[in-house]
Structure 1
Amino acid sequence: MSAFIIVPTSNRAGLTSVSLGILRAFEQSNNKPLFFKPIEQSYVTQLEQQIDPAVHFAQELFHLPTVAPLALSEVEMLISQGKDDDMIELVVQRLSELRLQQAHDVVVIEGVSPDSDRPFLADKNLALARALQAEIILVVSAYNATAEQVAEQVALYVHDYDDDHVRIAGFVLNSINVAEQEFVPFVEEVSRRIASNRAPLACLGAVKYAAEKSMFRMKDMARYLNARVLHGAEFLDSSRVKELVVAGRSATHMVDRFKAGAVIIASGDREDVMMATALRVISGTPLAGVILTCNEIPSQNLQALIAPALKSELPVLLTEHDTFNTANILSHMPSGVPADDLSRMDSMVDYVAENLQINALLQNLGQSKDVRLSPPAFRYRMMQLARAANKRIVLPEGSEPRTVQAAIICQQKGIARCVLLAKPAEVQEVAEKLNVTLPVDLEILDPDLLRQQYVEPMVALRKHKGLTPELALRQLEDTVVLGTMMLAQNDVDGLVSGAIHTTANTIRPALQLIKTKPEASLVSSVFFMLMPDQVLVYGDCAVNPEPSAAELADIAIQSADSAKAFGVEPKVAMISYSTGTSGAGAEVEKVKEATDLAKQKRPDLLIDGPLQYDAASVLSVGRQKAPDSPVAGQATVFVFPDLNTGNTTYKAVQRSANVLSVGPMLQGLNKPVNDLSRGALVDDIVYTIALTAIQATQ
């Protein structure tokens, strides 16, 4: 599904009018668009409520479903706390909710506009484009700017947004205020200058400045001044203001400015101005209105003289401000379209749409897009799937502080029904030290009260190995073994351990009591690596020290299937220190053999190797080193030749690049058991619990 994010290059670029103009252009081309505003910014007032203007007009003019954007205060709080990823995840969640509401062909996303108080917002548009997998359309204000200045604006943003994973679809020039004969040469010169700095960038529209599209109503001025309406209340809505005329001189020196659409601002005791105004109105000049200042109204005699003019459609306002202050106040009126001025915005949107050339965008609608899954989309998808699964997950390390915190989060967010294996008093003590509150429905089971009921089932499972009731009871003192027996007996749906236990401590009971799936030759693992712009899958980084070629092939297939199950389109790279035939040696030959075996077993999968990591992950390197590879430069699943390589790589990437890794998730078992790194953070545990809940449904 196509998506475009509209990004301004300045805070007065006309972002909303262009965004909605693009929306209308898609609508007019017989496509079904959606409109999405991730973060609210300026407000308009509507029936004593405040609402983002873009969202408001999308609802009123297009009758489209919308979702509330994130409040700016919430965004600022999350950013100040270093929780940018959480903010982006919330945005992805809102867009996902919106997309469910109506069938559509394209999503138009209005980006955020930086201002002097919040310059940090400028950086968020690129992050939003990555997370929402949207192409960028730049909106550039050309008002009072030369072609060189406009091209420099575009070049600056193109440089800042130079990213392999985000495409700039083109730019829209807005508010071009040049003479008619200079209009086309101006646009061509901007495009030429941009092309001289980089590859040509499509000009998707050139919108000439139209003063009539920015005209306020007398109603808006009355509201802004809090003025009293003396006459013509019924015409306030239809009377549009082209010009403010401040009567600072005598009427004979100013009467040539008393034109159609002018608002005359003067004190009510300025008899010459009042008479000149009346004569203009009587002669048929449609003035926009009169604003009387200093709380002065004309004398009774003057009112009698100008009475014929007041029979026309002339709004007259009265304000307590003096003439200078009135003009000054009105000059600072917000430029945004008021919420109830639908006709002005509708006219503006039509005008912008008429001046757009979006054929290039229309040609790509419905075509396959970048299949990479962004980290926020992955996290949102994972949480939604886990909530829907509603599984019961046992945590054998029930009094470990990080595990307690993770269980509380999962319980509160409905990610899973967690079961802590620990003495309730110990868990309560941990909670008090952490200054957290245990949810009343969080299940805490005392292992001492559970063991006996699992002795007989465990003996039955391991009788062929000579297990006696006494030995079983002793083994069940290990809470990991106890939790595994709960899983074996279907009393829980999954198990997560490893915060204080080794991988062997977690996996051994599972292999003995849960066993592998019939089609699985081994148990392996994957990490979901939440890189800045996409999710990658690493396998095997936790279980198999020296897999054979056949085992490595199975790891590749298991990892590809796991990736696909969680929304990552699998393109599998078999990693080695050599790419293709450039190197030799036993390790390279093992990877070659594993690649061939995996392809034979699963011809439906994109698998290639041997590939060096850079050839697998960097498009330019992949094209150079393996130009014919369907995987090189775009791999999403990385299969490492041994545990030493895999574990070292995942930890180096995780810590050096500050990347969140979710897992390890074990593959090949009959029921989901997952191991944690002993350095796992609370978030790591939460995500692993979610993964386990999802696995329990598959």
Structure 2
Amino acid sequence: MTRSVYVTGIDRGDGRQVVELGVMELLTRQVDRVGVFRPLVHEGPDRLFELLRARYRLAQDPATVYGMDYHEASALQAEQGADELVSQLVDRFHRVARDYDVVLVLGTDYADTQFPDELTLNARLANEFGASVIPVVGGRDQTAESVRAETRNAFRAYDGLGCDVLAMIVNRVAPPDRAEIHEPLDSQLPVPCYVLPDEPALGAPTVAQVTHALGGKVLLGDDSGLARDALDFVFGGAMLPTFLTALTPGCMVVTPGDRADLVVGALAAHSAGTPPIAGVLLTLDERPSDEVLTLAARLAPGTPVVSVSGLSFPTAGRLFALDGKLNAATPRKAEMALGLFERYVDTADLLGRVSAPSTDRVTPMMFEHKLLERARSDKRRVVLPEGTEERVLRAVEVLLRRDVCDLTLLGPVGQIHKKAADLGIDLTGAQLIDPQSSELRERFAEKYAELRAHKGVSVELAYDVVSDPNYFGTLMVQEGLADGMVSGSVHSTAATIRPAFEIIKTKPDASIVSSVFFMCLADKVLVYGDCAVNPDPNAEQLADIAVQSAATAQQFGVEPRIAMLSYSTGTSGSGADVDKVRQATELVRARRGDLKIEGPIQYDAAVEPSVAATKLPESEVAGQASVLIFPDLNTGNNTYKAVQRSAGAIAVGPVLQGLRKPVNDLSRGALVGDIVVTVAITAIQAQTQTPSMTRPPSPSSPSPSPSPSQKASAQ
């Protein structure tokens, strides 16, 4: 069984960080405890490890991550020989391996080292560590023929040195050459070969990195603007009309600081979206007047304007030498890298080859990984009515890059494009619809008037109602143009779910709509219901909530063991509140004899085996409950928030259940990650409710979409 994976290369410049990040993502899906080891390290901060530590919440002591620095290793090999060097590195590796289920080993980087045969050293270390190897070959600026030859030679080299090669990965190839490289190699090599195209944005520095590298001073701009990628550099020297034709999307304008005309012109072009730029870099240590800067700030709020002291020509030399790096300060690049890796690598096959030891523990990160993977496996379309909200747009960027689902954004299209441009977000692949001007508005008005005719709603009144994004999005779901809807980051819960009650309605077998939260604890996921919708359900409604919650739990991989919570356990208490729970428990047993259920039961007896052994020793639920049903909203809402805040649990929800098609509500305090997970849950719910359809939507016109699902966010 493979306990470690060694990612290595054959030369520098292969962009291996994308692969190292992708493999780490795979390993954390499978096991809870993943360690990192880098045998040799350069002086200074290790940007990749800092990214891994921040993204995957690694508790590993940084001092244990590194074997030794290159100078120490070179001196040791020169004085005592390669055997002693390897022996010490093996000893340090095993100090890490004994504390983790699996270890990701980051091979040497072939940069400024004193080792004559670095490939052989990596191969020997991998063998001594008992690690399987994933060699990475860089293909930038090479012909397809030379890349194929280099990859075959790299496989023979590592295989010939006795390495267990899991797969070969070729990175940074010219996109048109990808198929020409991939198909022959995949058929010629005895292991899978994955080929990743070059992604210029991954190598592009952010505006913040440019500013730091040049010692610049930020005159205008916010954190969002500084996080934009500088995809190109356009140097301003021409007159304004000629200069404007040279601008490219995502470029950084470099111009002397006294050219106020070019500064204002570039920012005006950005404001109009023709094209959106990354920012403006002023040289010669000149700064425009306060009047010009005030105008600039109004033209393009948040867009960076940075001043540096150097001349334009030497500044240009330093700019073209910059290379964007993955690090903890560039989380958007990490999402981009993972999206690239997951798009071109058969991650399921590679994970199977790794054979990392599985675990019964389910951490919050493992739960999230599984959600994204399931949503991606059978893509559905989710409509987001809050298309101009920054958190929603940032979530959309993640969802598109990770290829999780198809998306429709609602709102004024021009405003959505401008907001996305200000944030440096590429919405390619998303469908944008303005409910006010959409050709669907009249059709939806007629449908809504038909559905609400018993309430006296006319087509004229309905025409106004359906222009509301939540009503428009709900009708898209009802009419099969989207498979699910997620809203609520800026709308109230009532505004989000009222249209669903009026249009989509409840399932035939559900008496009410209810909700659950997925409570992600350190080592398991519990399901809490109902903590968001029904204030004081009666016994019949409580039974319905229990059955619905069990189905939701099972849908998302949680084996349902239902605890009907009360202030007493078993027959120890009496009173109206306890009797309601007892009656609901019996109703569930009568309706669904296959479900494991216990009630009434106190919370501690439901989740703590030692308490259960005393109070209900014969119960198959007590002490190991996974679905906890609260008797009323007051109890449930307070309990989930207490556990969330006091135990550090991640609360995913509320996830609505009981509707014919999935609509989910966000907390108005939802973070970007909450929105991503909620959309994934919505897409998964849709997978079980409607058949998958193949209907490629255009970005500008509404077309039928895949299928619905559900998702939730912390309240």
State the TM-score, normalized to the length of structure 1.
0.51
Q: 8 Å contact 2:444–2:475 — kept in the other structure?
A: yes
**Aligned equivalents of 1:567, 1:424: Cα separation in 2:** 38
Show CA shifts across 1:279-300 (max 9, x none).
Answer: xxxxxxxxxxxxxxxxxxxxxx
Residue 397 of structure 1 corresponds to: 386
Alignment partner of 2:644 out of 640, 654, 670: 654
CA distance in 2, matches of 1:617, 1:37: 35
**Selected match of 2:430 from 429, 442, 462:** 442
1:522: Cα distance to partner? 0.9
What is aligned with 1:35? 2
1:210-266: CA deviation from partner (whole Å, max 9, x where unpaired) = xxxxxxxxxxxxxx9989xxxxxxxxx9xxxxxxxxxxxxxxxxxxxxxxxxxxxxx
Task: Report the identity percentage.
Answer: 45
Partners of 1:504 and 1:430 in 2: CA distance: 26
Q: Specify the alignment match of 1:282 in structure 2.
A: none
Paired amino acid for 1:453: R
Which of 371, 383, 406 is the aligned partner of 2:395? 406
Q: What is the DSSP-based 3-state SS (H/G/I as helix, E as strand, rest coil) of the residue aligned with 1:697? A: helix
Give the Cα–Cα distance (whole angstroms) in 1 for the partners of residues 115 and 535 of structure 2: 76
| Deviation for aligned residue 1:603 | 1.1
Q: Residue 70 and residue 385 in structure 1: after superposition, are their counterparts in 2 closer, same or farther (change >3 A)?
A: farther
- Structure-2 separation of matches of 1:372 and 1:636: 13
Please name the residue that 1:348 is paired with: none
CA contact (8 A) 1:373 1:568 kept: no
- What amino acid sits opposite 2:2 in the alignment? F
The structure-2 alpha-carbon separation of the partners of 1:662 and 1:71, relative to structure 1 and needing over 3 Å to count, comes to farther
Match for 1:77 among 31, 44, 50? 50
Q: 1:44 to 1:463 in 2, by over 3 A?
A: closer
Structure 1 residue 416: deviation in Å?
1.4
Larger radius of gyration: 1
- How far apart are residue 656 of structure 1 and its match? 3.0
Match of 2:666 in 1: 676
Q: Of 390, 404, 413, which residue of structure 2 is paired with 1:424? A: 413
- Tell me: CA distance 1:226–1:534, structure 2 relative to 1, closer, same or farther (3 Å): closer
Seen in structure 2, the aligned counterparts of structure 1 residues 652 and 119 have a Cα distance that, compared at 3 Å, is farther
Could you give the per-residue CA deviations for residues 612-663 of structure 1, whole angstroms, max 9, x where no partner exists?
A: 2222122222222222221111111111111111111222222333322222
Whether 1:694 and 2:684 are equivalent positions in the alignment is: yes
Q: Mind listing any 5+ residue stretches in structure 1 that lack a counterpart?
A: 1-33, 56-67, 89-111, 121-140, 142-153, 167-223, 228-236, 238-337, 344-368
Give the Cα–Cα distance (whole angstroms) in 2 for the partners of residues 411 and 370 of structure 1. 30
2:56 partner amino acid: D
Q: 1: CA distance between counterparts of 2:594 and 2:489? A: 37
Give the structure 2 partner of residue 500 of structure 1: 490
Q: 1:75 to 1:600 in 2, by over 3 A?
A: farther
Question: Once the 2 structures are TM-superposed, how far is the Cα of residue 441 of structure 1 from its aligned partner?
Answer: 1.7
Match of 1:582 in 2: 572
> Which residue of structure 2 aligns with residue 544 of structure 1?
534
Counterpart code for 2:489: A
TM-score by length of 2: 0.50
CA contact (8 A) 2:394 2:425 kept: no
Change (3 A) 1:466 1:620: same
Point out where structure 2 has 5 or more consecutive residues left out of the alignment.
Answer: 21-33, 39-45, 68-87, 89-94, 102-113, 118-123, 125-157, 164-357, 689-715
Give the distance between the partners of 1:466 and 1:510, measured in 2 at CA. 19
Q: Distance in 1 between matches of 2:418 and 2:474?
A: 26
CA positional deviation for 1:553: 0.8
**Partners of 2:558 and 2:616 in 1: CA distance:** 23
Q: 1:414 to 1:79 in 2, by over 3 A?
A: closer
- The Cα RMSD (Å) is 4.3
Q: Distance in 1 between matches of 2:495 and 2:661?
A: 17
Matched, 1:378 2:367: yes
Equivalent residue, structure 2, for 1:260: none
Which residue identity is paired with 1:78? L
Give, as a single letter, the amino acid of the residue that structure 2 aligns with 1:403.
V
Change (3 A) 1:581 1:453: same
**AA paired with 1:385?**
R
**2:233 aligns to what?**
none
1:450-599 equivalent positions in 2, closer than 5 A: 450=438, 451-599=441-589
Deviations along 1:147-195, one digit per CA (max 9) or x if unpaired, are: xxxxxxx9xx99x99xxxx9xxxxxxxxxxxxxxxxxxxxxxxxxxxxx
For 1:63, the equivalent position in structure 2 comes to: none
Report how far residue 74 of structure 1 moved: 7.4
Tell whether the 8 Å contact from 1:487 to 1:495 is kept in structure 2 after alignment. Answer: yes
Give, as a single letter, the amino acid of the residue that structure 1 aligns with 2:590. Q
Q: How many angstroms apart in 1 are the aligned matches of 2:615 and 2:639?
A: 21
Number of paired residues? 400
CA distance in 1, matches of 2:64, 2:443: 64
Q: 1:393 to 1:341 in 2, by over 3 A?
A: closer
Q: CA offsets, 1:507-528, max 9 Å, x none? A: 2211111111111111111111
In structure 2, the CA distance between the partners of 1:119 and 1:486, relative to structure 1 (3 Å rule), is: same
